[in-house]
């Protein structure tokens, strides 16, 4: 039972996000998050133009709250607005921007729109970007165009969880054009990015006391001199004894 509750909650959140993005398309909505609170549902809308979401004297946000409450059976929806820090690194905003440009200028300038958008994304500090435009562009036959620059992961867990992906659609006279944007942010941690740390060398120095060093040094020198003298005296005695043994033989 609890699994069904979680699934229904996530489905409702996705539907709310799609409805807000469609109704507030001109406001540059990035994404929407919904939280359950004791007072009701808290809906956080991330947009580049929060003023357009609020509207004149708050009319737009009041109408949005009323529609969400009636359409999705929300108890007490509370909408909170949050600004996007860097719009050029948000794939949803970039895809909506490309779709809006295609609808405004047509398919004749789609290459210029793609290259300009790609330059803006790389100028914002992204490691890599890929833009795919599929549809009847520029002729009546459907094609797929790809604009890419930089370094972009295509496989592994980083390609799923690290690379940001978004989709949008542009409604043209020739038909619907699909847009896919993938951005690799600059703050991503790659698994093959290894940093080798240098091992620190520790130098240990022995510091002897001034009084003990002066007394121990002469004693050590005297012991070495005595040992060397005994070795010199012992060597001739061994050679004489050896000669006597050879003569007896």
Domains annotated on the chain, with CATH: 2-84 (3.30.300.20), 88-184 (3.30.1140.32)
Taking a C-beta distance cutoff of 8 angstroms, is the pair 132, 144 a contact?
Answer: yes
Q: Is it the case that residue 239 has pLDDT exceeding 70?
A: no
Percent of the chain with pLDDT over 90: 21
Q: What is the mean pLDDT of the chain?
A: 81
Taking a C-beta distance cutoff of 8 angstroms, is the pair 114, 177 a contact?
Answer: no
The mean pLDDT value for 106-118 works out to: 89
Residue pointed to by tokens 């009847």: 136
Of 37-41, 88-92, 164-168, the poorest mean pLDDT is in 37-41
Q: Is it the case that residue 147 has pLDDT exceeding 90?
A: yes
Cis peptide before 194 (omega within 30 of 0): no
- Nearest Cα to Cα of residue 43 among 25, 10, 16: 16
Of 11-25, 26-40, 197-211, the poorest mean pLDDT is in 197-211
Percent of the chain with pLDDT over 70: 82
Q: What pLDDT shows up at residue 191?
A: 81
Question: In angstroms, rounded to a whole number, what is the distance separating the alpha carbons of residues 19 and 36?
Answer: 19
Q: What pLDDT shows up at residue 200?
A: 74
Name every residue whose Cβ is closer than 8 Å to that of residue 149 and which is 6 or more positions away in sequence: 118, 122, 128, 129
pTM equals 0.68
- pLDDT single digits (tens) 177-226: 999 999 999 988 888 778 888 877 777 776 766 655 444 455 556 566 66
Question: In angstroms, rounded to a whole number, what is the distance separating the alpha carbons of residues 167 and 125?
Answer: 21
The larger pLDDT score, comparing residue 134 to residue 1, is at 134
Taking a C-beta distance cutoff of 8 angstroms, is the pair 129, 182 a contact?
Answer: yes
């Amino acid at each position: 039972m609890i699994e069904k509750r979680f699934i229904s909650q996530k489905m409702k959140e996705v539907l709310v996000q799609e409805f807000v993005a469609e109704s507030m398309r001109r406001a540059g909505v990035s994404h929407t998050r919904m939280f359950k609170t004791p007072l009701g549902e808290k809906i956080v809308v991330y947009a580049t133009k929060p003023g357009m979401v609020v509207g004149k004297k708050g009319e737009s946000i009041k109408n949005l709250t009323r529609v969400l409450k009636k359409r999705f059976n929300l108890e007490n929806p509370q909408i909170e607005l949050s600004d996007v820090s860097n719009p050029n690194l948000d794939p949803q905003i970039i895809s909506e921007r490309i779709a809006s440009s295609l609808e405004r200028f047509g398919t004749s300038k789609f290459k210029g729109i793609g290259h300009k958008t790609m330059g803006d994304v790389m100028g914002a500090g992204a490691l890599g970007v890929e833009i795919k435009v599929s549809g009847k562009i520029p002729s009546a036959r459907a094609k797929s165009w790809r604009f890419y620059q930089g370094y972009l992961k295509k496989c592994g867990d980083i390609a799923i969880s690290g690379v940001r992906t978004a989709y949008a659609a542009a409604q043209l006279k020739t038909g619907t054009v699909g847009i896919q944007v993938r951005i690799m942010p600059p703050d991503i941690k790659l698994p093959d990015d290894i940093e080798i740390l240098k091992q620190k060398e520790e130098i240990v120095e022995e510091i002897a006391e001034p009084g003990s060093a002066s007394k121990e040094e002469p004693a050590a020198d005297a012991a070495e001199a005595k040992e060397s003298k005994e070795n010199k005296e012992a060597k001739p005695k061994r050679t004489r004894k050896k000669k006597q043994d050879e003569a007896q033989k």
